[in-house]
Structure 1
Amino acid sequence: MKGEAGSPYAITDYFDVAPSLANDPEKRMLEFEALLTRCGDLSLKVIIDFVPNHLSREYNPVNKNTARPCFGKEDKADYHFHPMNNYYYLPGTSFIPPVKSDNTEPYTENPARVTGNDCFRPDPSVDDWYETVKLNYGVDYSVGKLGYFHPIPDTWLKIKEVLFFWVEKGVSGFRCDMAAMVPKEFWEWIIPVIKKSFPGTIFIGEIYEPHLYDSFLQKCGFDYLYDKVGLYDTLKEITLGKMGCSEITRCWQSLGALEDRMVNFLENHDEVRVASHHFASDPLGALPALAVSLLLNKSPFLLYFGQELGERGEDCEGFSGQDGKTSIFDYWSLETVRNWIKDNNEPPIRNLYKTLLNLATAEEAFGNGDKFDLNYANEHNPFYNIYNNFSFTRKGVDALFIIFAGFGKQEYHVKLVLPHEMFVYHSIEPGIIRQASDVMTGEKFEIRLDPASLTELGNTAHGIKVVKVLL
């Protein structure tokens, strides 16, 4: 087991809630159901993590409900692969763990099963997902990933029961862990089945291969996919000074029609905290990246707990060590979250997050409006640093928003070229004096939008400027 708590992605029971999450472990499912009710009363939806590719080596449901599927019980363990097996086996071998167990009785597994990250050896390394075993969805890896999907593999039917169990409780969607490690044929089958009975169910895929985006969205039926290797990686490199802002343009253009079906984020359990020294080094230094990730397109934005409090992830937490992340393997308490709850100690960064998050959800321009990338038009602007600056517009029915993000770890006096093409694209008449306001400060002023001259927006605060212009 990794750490004191173990990995939450080594599932020991698909039909239960972790006892450590409950106030009263004996009533953990009742507490979860109460959470669903409270969220529903607030018009919120609950999306849970679904781990389809692997489960714990010690999968052992506490509730021995015989009506629920038991993984591996009917497997033919003398077969390396069988379409109806739930696991992959390595006949003639015994599992050799890469770390010593603290238990008095050593863990044994004979024959060894294939490890979750496609490690087909009985002796996975400490860097492998050694605490997990891979589920068999009917793909024979020994002969070039040949699929056996007719009749429907047993694993498919069991996972179907898992998903129905949770949607019937009121869960509104699933963040599907490592979705590309499960065959596309399974997703093409299961997502329509779930959505037929529960039409509003949302499926978010954790996928890191851009060449798979189109098929997972268009054929498999996913609603959204992670944009980790696109916008997240780009904004991180720009914040670190290793990449220029023109890469943001390349990033969104490469997605084409799929852009608004990607999930944007700056933090999650796999990545470093944005305020850590591995990223922006302080909470305020992350605001330019936040403005772009949150406001650039119509994509949903994922906010990680404690991010809005400026959590830096600099604690040394057991198994993970001091890596700029918040441990998922050990029991831990974050000082930023603790202070906020206990003393109502609200750091200034939270108010800035509140302003931007409410802007993104309340203003129609960000949910439905078009964007116009201004960077190309400002390449020769003497008041603009094309390497460290990025700007764009979002237009709603009655307002235009001009967003500037300066990644140079300094403040800027913003003067922008608004090209003729922008006025045509947004159907805005140029040259008219209009009422405007600074979203971050509330300051009101008049502004003339004209392609013939620079549009002056004033000074940034923490590297960003967001101006609302009434049309």
Structure 2
Amino acid sequence: MAYSPWIGNFKVNGRWGNYGTVKLLLDETMSGTAPGRLQVSVEIAAQGSQPEEFEVELFSNLNRRDFVRTHEPLADSGGPTSYWMPYRMSFQGRSFDNLVFTLELPVQKCGAYRITARYRSAGSDTWWWHNDFSPWPGQPSQRDCAVVVSPGKAAQARLYEANALTVEALAGGSYENRSTLDDFLSTHDFDGFNPFQLTYINKELGFNTLWLMPVFPNTQWRWDRQKWDWATNDSPGSPYSSRDYWSINRWLADNAAPARALELFQTLFREAKDDDLDVFIDLAFNHAGRDVIYGAGAVDLGFCSMQEQEEWVRQHRPSWCTRGTAFVDGHSVPYYREAAHSDFECAVWAPADRLNEHIWDDANVDWFFGDYSALGPKPGRGTDYWGNPVTHWDPKGNAEDERDILYSDLASDSETERLWQYFGYILPYWIEKSGGKLAGIRADFAQGLPNQLWEYIVNRTRKARWDFIFLAEVLDPDVIQYRLNRVFDVLTTKDHHLYRMNAVRMTDLFHSLEAESTLFGGEALVMHNGTSHDEMGNDNKWAMMARYAVTASIYGCPMIFMGQPLGLADKLPFRDSWANMYKAWTDDIPEREAVGRMYLKINQAREATPELREPNRYFLCLVEGGFHEEIYSVARWRGEDGERDAVTLVFVNLDTSHGNAGTFRLPGAIRLSGEYQARNLVADDPNRTLWPAARNAQDIYDNGIYVVFTLPNEVQYLKLVRV
């Protein structure tokens, strides 16, 4: 649809704003002026017109997180307590014959925001929006620009993931031998077996963030495909299919009492705070167990009475659940775009919109968050749950749809709005229950919610804790990853396998990391890891330490799973058995301590070296050209606002059986002047200088840096120290 005049060429901080993403870091405790500002410009194509003929406004919820709501009618915007605000833009000049209008806005509060622009002719009541026009004929309409303002501490997170039922379980592999939350504590351990606790994570390994796998009660139902009937789900079943979002799994208490489980959960947060350790919890919001109940939060919100809080949601509020998908003549009937009307109509498996992938037998409630363009399976042909061929086509959109359209009505008191409010309350509830100490979440299958809902959840949560961190699991194609990057602080990498492969080479890592930067932008935080509850490991402890050294050298969030420093190759079958790590803890392995010390040194180096936590990087080539394929090599340095001479060069021997050597050239982009010495930050003595004499900057540029590894998997973090 064409209009005249036309509004477009939207730019934010010099980048295209049409479906663009701006990512900023902010510390709200800093005094003085806000460290970030948005420079926004937009053009109006109106040949022969004068600027005074138009009113042009930026329209945004930037900085308005404290007034967040599920929806706000346009007529309600612009007030003192409004969520959305218009800002008058000023005429800046002309670009060819287009009128250019600009505005600068301060960035003052962390949150997930959007900005767009609109204009109207002077004296008219009709606004035309940036989103009403297409950038080029035949292309989709222009869309909002996302602005993700993350807590500055998000770039400092070093994550250790643990399963509380497994990490310190005793030998035997049974319910009675499970580990419980007291096993994390130094003051409340009840079984006398205590090789693991919070101080191990922080003091012995140097991680500053504990990521707990889901701690809520999981469903007691599972669909048995062989018997084609419901079966019990207590062996122990997947914690990613919750039964109650508002209580702690009683299995996590030594006496299996819910009250004790909550008490230990709260004690864990107090001890973690004393150890300078943040705690994240893991949550699946897209789906839940068949027996998921209202829970205490629904009582607080007035959605049920206290007497009803144990009732199954699917039976008492089926409209919160997705209607089951039907198959007719090999085609999917898109019931996943509808709410169920009865318990019988609720989808049996989740996610109901993925058909031939991501089908979980114990996730038997698929939450219906409304109808939106990205709801649905990926386009193309596939198979259904039974292996029959299915054509995936839906005129309203699919999983890779980027139009960002929310079709559903969020009018007051609609069932969709109530469900959004229900999920928007979960994290503030647990922030309060943890004494304000819950620091973040890892969102399982994050692409299973519309971005508008995530925006609401993020901003609703940040009202309770401004520096809360949101980490998204998203493993699907690039367009889906990019969409989630528009609301989340941290994204997961797709290339986990690279960080556990013995045969990984420099070119592999280079292409992967550059592809991430191309997709997300250089300021996006990505979590890099080789192991997790979903990813197999590598029993070569030294090789996995070296792979971690790679992840810790990159802007983003390095992460390990609990068995990685112990040499566990198995991801541990947490769903189908009461797994334990007893043998890993008790076997006499002399090198375990040495491996742990290297994790500590790497983490201490990252903590103490600002350039390792900033975006600037340059992957180093040999002086004769090309990468040394068996040596990972990157230069890290501070930006223009940082210390001029803060430069660290990271080299990791990727060879798992031999030493290595090479001479690496430094690019002119690294600003050196004067004379330098080098120190290895991860050596036994990180203060010892490595060169016989100081070297001047020109000598370093001309002759490069010679690196020699005498051992496989060796790591050097070379800090260039100005003499």
TM-score range, shorter chain: 0.7 to 0.9
Amino acid in the other structure paired with 2:607: T
Alignment partner of 1:89 is 2:89 = no
Identical-pair percentage? 16
CA distance in 1, matches of 2:295, 2:520: 47
Deviation, 1:428, is 0.6
Alignment partner of 1:159 is 2:423 = yes
Task: Select the residue among 261, 270, 286 that pairs with 1:53.
Answer: 286
Indicate conservation of the 8 Å contact 1:204/1:226, yes or no.
yes
Amino acid in the other structure paired with 1:211: V
Deviation, 1:69, is 9.0
Secondary structure, in 3 states, of the residue corresponding to 1:425? Answer: coil
Q: 1:408 to 1:40 in 2, by over 3 A?
A: closer
Secondary structure, in 3 states, of the residue corresponding to 1:195? Answer: helix
Indicate conservation of the 8 Å contact 2:544/2:564, yes or no.
no
Aligned to 1:359: 605
- CA deviations over 1:256-294 (Å, ceiling 9, x no partner): 634541122222111112x24xxxxx1112233222111
Indicate conservation of the 8 Å contact 2:631/2:660, yes or no.
no
Indicate conservation of the 8 Å contact 2:294/2:310, yes or no.
no
CA distance in 2, matches of 1:438, 1:189: 42
Q: How does 1:317-466 map to 2 (within 5 A)?
A: 325-335=572-582, 337-339=584-586, 346-368=592-614, 370-374=616-620, 377-378=621-622, 380-381=624-625, 386-395=628-637, 397=643, 399-419=646-666, 421=667, 424-429=668-673, 432=675, 434-437=677-680, 439-442=682-685, 444-446=689-691, 448=695, 450-466=700-716
Structure with larger Rg: 2
Amino acid in the other structure paired with 2:460: V
Amino acid in the other structure paired with 1:294: A
Aligned to 1:226: 492
Q: 1:238 to 1:185 in 2, by over 3 A?
A: farther
Q: How does 1:24-423 map to 2 (within 5 A)?
A: 24-26=255-257, 27-60=260-293, 66-67=305-306, 71-75=313-317, 85-90=319-324, 110-111=344-345, 113-118=347-352, 128-132=359-363, 133-139=365-371, 144=396, 147-151=407-411, 153=416, 154-169=418-433, 170=436, 171-208=438-475, 209-218=477-486, 220=487, 222-227=488-493, 229-230=494-495, 232-236=496-500, 239=503, 244-248=508-512, 250-255=514-519, 257-273=521-537, 275-276=538-539, 282-297=540-555, 299-313=556-570, 325-335=572-582, 337-339=584-586, 346-368=592-614, 370-374=616-620, 377-378=621-622, 380-381=624-625, 386-395=628-637, 397=643, 399-419=646-666, 421=667
Q: 1:441 to 1:236 in 2, by over 3 A?
A: same
Indicate conservation of the 8 Å contact 1:339/1:345, yes or no.
no
Between Structure 1 and Structure 2, the one with more helix by share is 1
Give the unaligned 5+ runs of structure 1: 77-84, 94-108, 277-281, 314-323
Aligned to 2:170: none
Indicate conservation of the 8 Å contact 1:435/1:469, yes or no.
yes
TM-score, structure 2 normalization:
0.52
- CA deviations over 1:163-221 (Å, ceiling 9, x no partner): 22212223222111111111112112221122123212211111124324444344x3x
Indicate conservation of the 8 Å contact 2:655/2:712, yes or no.
no
- CA deviations over 1:64-94 (Å, ceiling 9, x no partner): 9634596234435xxxxxxxx111234999x
Indicate conservation of the 8 Å contact 1:87/1:114, yes or no.
no
Greater Cα offset, 288-297 or 452-461: 452-461
- CA deviations over 1:12-44 (Å, ceiling 9, x no partner): 111111111112322111111111121222232
Secondary structure, in 3 states, of the residue corresponding to 1:89? Answer: coil
Q: 1:249 to 1:29 in 2, by over 3 A?
A: closer
CA distance in 1, matches of 2:712, 2:354: 49
Q: 1:215 to 1:69 in 2, by over 3 A?
A: farther
- CA deviations over 1:272-324 (Å, ceiling 9, x no partner): 12x24xxxxx1112233222111122x122232122222222xxxxxxxxxx5
Deviation, 1:399, is 4.6
Q: 1:454 to 1:45 in 2, by over 3 A?
A: closer
Indicate conservation of the 8 Å contact 2:482/2:520, yes or no.
no
Aligned to 2:13: none
Secondary structure, in 3 states, of the residue corresponding to 1:25? Answer: coil
Q: 1:450 to 1:344 in 2, by over 3 A?
A: closer
Give the unaligned 5+ runs of structure 2: 1-221, 223-232, 300-304, 328-342, 377-393, 398-405
Aligned to 1:103: none
Aligned to 2:242: 11
TM-score, structure 1 normalization:
0.77
